[in-house]
Chains A and B, each alone.
Chain A
Amino acid sequence: MGTKKKTVYDDCISKGVSRRDFLKFCTTMGALLGLEASGVAQVVKALEKKSRLPIIWLHLQECTCCSESFIRTSHPILADLIFDQISLDYTETLMAPAGFQAEKSMHDTMQQYKGEYILMIEGSIPLENEAYCCIGGRSAKQILEEAAEGAKAIVAWGNCASSGCVQAAYPNPTKATPVHRVIKGKTVMNVQGCPPIAEVMAGIIVHLLTFNRIPQLDRLGRPKVFYSRRVHDTCYRRANFDAGLFVESFDDENAKRGYCLYKMGCKGPSTYNACGIIKWNEGTSFPIQSGHPCIGCSEDGFWDRTPFYKRQATINAFGVEATADEIGLALGVATTGALAAHAVATNIRKRRLINNESSEEEGTDH
Chain B
Amino acid sequence: MTKRIVVDPITRIEGHLRIEAEIENGIIKDAFSSGTMVRGIETIVRDRDPRDVWAFVGRICGVCTSTHSLCSVRAVEDAIDTVVPPNAEMVRNIMANVLFMHDHVVHFYHLHAFDWVDVVSALKADPAAASVAAAKLSDWPKSSTGYFKAIQDRVGKFVDSGQLGIFANGYWGHPAYKLTPEQNLIAVAHYLEALEWQKEIVKVHAVFGGKNPHPNYVVGGMPCSINLEEPNAINAERLAFVKKKLIEAKTFIDQVYVPDLLMIADVYKDDWAKIGGGVSNYLAFGDFPIGNYGETETYKMPRGIILDRDLSKVHPVDANSPEEIKEYIYHSWYKYSKGNSEGLHPFEGETELNYTGPKPPYDFLDINDKYSWIKTPRWKEQPMEVGPLARMLVAYAAGKQPQKDLIDSVLKELNLPADALFSTLGRTAARGLESKLCADWALEFFDRLMDNLQGDSRMFEPEKWKETQWPDKCQGVGLTEAPRGALAHFAVIEKSRIKNYQMVVPTTWNASPRDEKGVLSAYESALIGTPVHDANIPLEILRTIHSFDPCLACAVHLYDESGKYVHALDTF
Contact = CB atoms under 8 A, between A and B. Distances in A.
The residue in B223, B231, B458 that gathers the most chain A C-beta atoms within 10 A of its C-beta is B223
B39 A176 contact: yes
Contacts of B216: 287, 290, 292
A64 to B, nearest CB: 5
B59 A166 contact: yes
Interface stretch (B46-54, B75-83, B286-294, B471-479): B46-54
Nearest to A7: B162
Interface in B37-90: 37-41, 43-44, 47-49, 51-52, 55-56, 59-63, 65
A132 B38 contact: yes
Interface in A165-191: 165-167, 169-174, 176
A138 interface: yes
Interface stretch (B2-10, B378-386, B395-403): B2-10
A256 B361 CA distance: 56
Contacts of A303: 44, 56
A105 to B, nearest CB: 5
B230 interface: yes
Interface range for A? 35 or more
A169 B63 CA distance: 21
A96 B8 contact: no
B173 interface: yes
Contacts of B207: 284-285, 290
B114 A142 contact: no
Interface in A279-294: 280-282, 284-292
Given A173-B44, A250-B223, A280 B212 contact: yes
A46 B360 contact: no
B329 to A, nearest CB: 16
A281 B199 contact: yes
A345 B173 CA distance: 70
Nearest to B561: A173
B149 interface: no
A287 B40 CA distance: 27
Given A97-B11, A139-B360, A256 B223 contact: no
Contacts, number: 346
A137 B361 contact: yes
Contacts of B465: 249-250
A79 B195 contact: yes
Contact of A250 (B41, B360, B462): B462
The residue in B39, B159, B212 that gathers the most chain A C-beta atoms within 10 A of its C-beta is B39
Interface in B217-246: 218, 220-227, 230-234, 241
Given A169-B44, A257-B232, A251 B192 contact: no
B147 interface: no
Contacts of B170: 96-97, 101
B120 interface: yes
Contact of B44 (A133, A170, A256, A308): A170
Contact of B361 (A71, A104, A142, A309): A142
A167 B362 contact: no
B425 interface: no
Interface stretch (A26-34, A211-219, A319-327, A354-362): A26-34
The residue in B213, B234, B362, B462 that gathers the most chain A C-beta atoms within 10 A of its C-beta is B213
A211 to B, nearest CB: 22
A8 B357 CA distance: 41
A97 B119 CA distance: 12
Interface string A114-134: 000000000000100111111
A292 B166 CA distance: 37
Nearest to B42: A173
B48 A63 contact: no
Given A108-B168, A169-B56, A102 B11 contact: yes
A346 to B, nearest CB: 20
A320 B65 CA distance: 33
The residue in B8, B10, B61, B161 that gathers the most chain A C-beta atoms within 10 A of its C-beta is B161
Contacts of B205: 281
Contacts of A316: none
Given A29-B162, A167-B44, A290-B206, A280 B49 contact: no
A105 B111 CA distance: 17
A256 B228 CA distance: 9
B559 interface: yes
B196 interface: yes
A42 B160 contact: yes
Contacts of B458: 251
Interface stretch (B254-262, B315-323, B481-489, B534-542): B534-542
A195 interface: yes
Contact of B120 (A34, A72, A256, A287): A34
B161 A93 contact: no
Interface string B1-38: 00000111111111110100000000000000000111
Nearest to A51: B163
A88 B51 CA distance: 39
A365 B166 contact: no
Contact of A281 (B196, B203, B538): B203
B218 A33 contact: no
A185 to B, nearest CB: 24
A224 interface: no
Given A135-B8, A280-B212, A287-B216, A250 B163 contact: no
Nearest to B553: A63
Contacts of B223: 250-251, 290-292
A92 B11 contact: yes
Interface in B136-165: 154, 158-165
A162 interface: no
A71 B202 CA distance: 11
B213 A307 contact: no
B32 to A, nearest CB: 14
Given A33-B172, A135-B9, A167-B41, A82 B61 contact: no
19 contacts: A33-B172, A52-B163, A79-B192, A79-B196, A87-B164, A89-B163, A96-B169, A96-B170, A99-B8, A133-B37, A137-B362, A171-B44, A195-B214, A249-B460, A251-B460, A280-B212, A282-B199, A290-B211, A291-B222
Given A63-B63, A67-B62, A137-B18, 5 more contacts: A68-B213, A78-B195, A87-B165, A194-B214, A250-B459
